[in-house]
């Protein structure tokens, strides 16, 4: 989309979509770490991606509740589930690192459909 933005007139105002896709891509990467190099550790880039997405989700939810008029938002259940999953991953990682002497958490192991 970034590449085609300048070439197609209908994509000139797609910065918000590009930013959203980038956020989601970062979150997926953070929540699917399979190697120690990309593993979740308190304060690292993966940790910050999850925190950033949680903050974005809170802001999006608040804005949707304020505007109410045709402002699209995910379902309440999806929002709640995302928050629980993301906060849970951070809490599990923090516990394992601080209490169990783990160095990191490979978040792919938390997923239900791990391959």
pLDDT tens column, 16-52: 888 998 999 999 999 999 999 999 999 999 999 999 9
pLDDT digits (tens, 9 = 90+) for 43-85: 999 999 999 999 999 998 988 888 766 678 889 999 999 999 9
Would you place residue 5 in the very low, low, confident or very high pLDDT band (cuts 50, 70, 90)?
Answer: low
Helix (H), strand (E), coil (C) string for 26-83: HHHHHHCCCCHHHCECCCCHHHHHHHHHHHHHHHHHHHHHHHCCCCCCCCHHHHHHHH
């Amino acid at each position: 989309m970034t590449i085609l933005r300048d070439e197609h007139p209908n994509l000139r105002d797609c910065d918000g979509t590009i930013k959203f896709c980038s956020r989601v891509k970062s979150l997926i990467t953070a929540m699917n770490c399979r190697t120690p190099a990309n593993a979740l550790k308190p304060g690292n880039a993966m940790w910050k991606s999850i925190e950033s997405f949680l903050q974005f989700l809170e802001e999006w939810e608040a804005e949707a509740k304020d505007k109410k008029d045709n402002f699209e938002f995910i379902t309440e259940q999806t929002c709640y589930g995302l928050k629980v999953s993301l906060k849970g991953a951070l809490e599990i990682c923090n516990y394992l690192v601080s209490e169990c002497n783990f160095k990191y958490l490979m978040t792919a192991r938390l997923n239900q459909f791990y391959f």
